[in-house]
Amino acid sequence: MKRKRTNRRWTYLLALLLTAVATYLTSEETAEEQTGTHRFQKEESVESVEIPAPLSHTSEQILQRKAYTVSYNRDLKIANWVAWELTADKLVERVERNDRFLPDPDLPADEAVTTDDYRGSGYDRGHLCPAGDNRWNRKTMEESFYMTNICPQDHNLNSGDWKELEEACRRWARQYGSIYIVCGPVLHGKKHRTIGRAQRVTVPEGFFKVVLCTRTDPPQAIGFVYNNLPADRPLSAYIHTVDQVEELTGIDFFTRLPDECEQQVEATCHPEWWNIKP
> pLDDT tens digit string along 10-19?
555 455 555 5
Averaged confidence pLDDT in the chain: 88
Confidence (pLDDT) at 19: 53
- Give DSSP secondary structure letters for 104-172: -TTS-TTT---GGGGTTSS-EEEESS-GGG-TT-HHHHHHTTBGGGEEEE-HHHHHTHHHHHHHHHHHH
The catalytic residue among 57, 127, 188, 240 is: 127
Assess whether 217 and 93 both reside in one domain. Answer: yes
- Whether residue 237 contacts residue 225, with contact meaning beta carbons closer than 8 Å, is answered with no
CA distance to 100, 128, 169, 201, 256, per residue, from 144 (Å): 10, 9, 17, 18, 25
pLDDT in tens, 49-75: 999 999 999 999 999 999 999 999 999
Instruction: For residue 200, give the amino acid letter.
Output: R
Assess whether 70 and 159 both reside in one domain. Answer: yes
Assess whether 224 and 244 both reside in one domain. Answer: yes
Confidence (pLDDT) at 2: 42
126-144 residues labelled b (16+ CB within 10 A) or e (exposed): bbbbbbbbbbbeeebbbbb
Confidence (pLDDT) at 222: 98
Instruction: For residue 18, give the amino acid letter.
Output: L
Domain that holds residue 111: 38-274
Assess whether 26 and 148 both reside in one domain. Answer: no
Assess whether 142 and 11 both reside in one domain. Answer: no
Structural domain count, the chain: 2
Assess whether 137 and 21 both reside in one domain. Answer: no
Q: How far apart are CA 83 and CA 10, in angstroms?
A: 59
Active-site residue flag, 127: yes
To 10 degrees, what angle do helices 242-249 and 259-267 make? 90
Assess whether 135 and 19 both reside in one domain. Answer: no
Assess whether 13 and 72 both reside in one domain. Answer: no
The CATH number for 154's domain is 3.40.570.10
Assess whether 223 and 90 both reside in one domain. Answer: yes
Assess whether 206 and 106 both reside in one domain. Answer: yes
Assess whether 148 and 22 both reside in one domain. Answer: no
The DSSP call for residue 19 is H
Q: How far apart are CA 95 and CA 272, in angstroms?
A: 34
Assess whether 15 and 85 both reside in one domain. Answer: no
pLDDT < 70 positions in the chain: 1-46
Name the 3-class secondary structure at 50.
coil
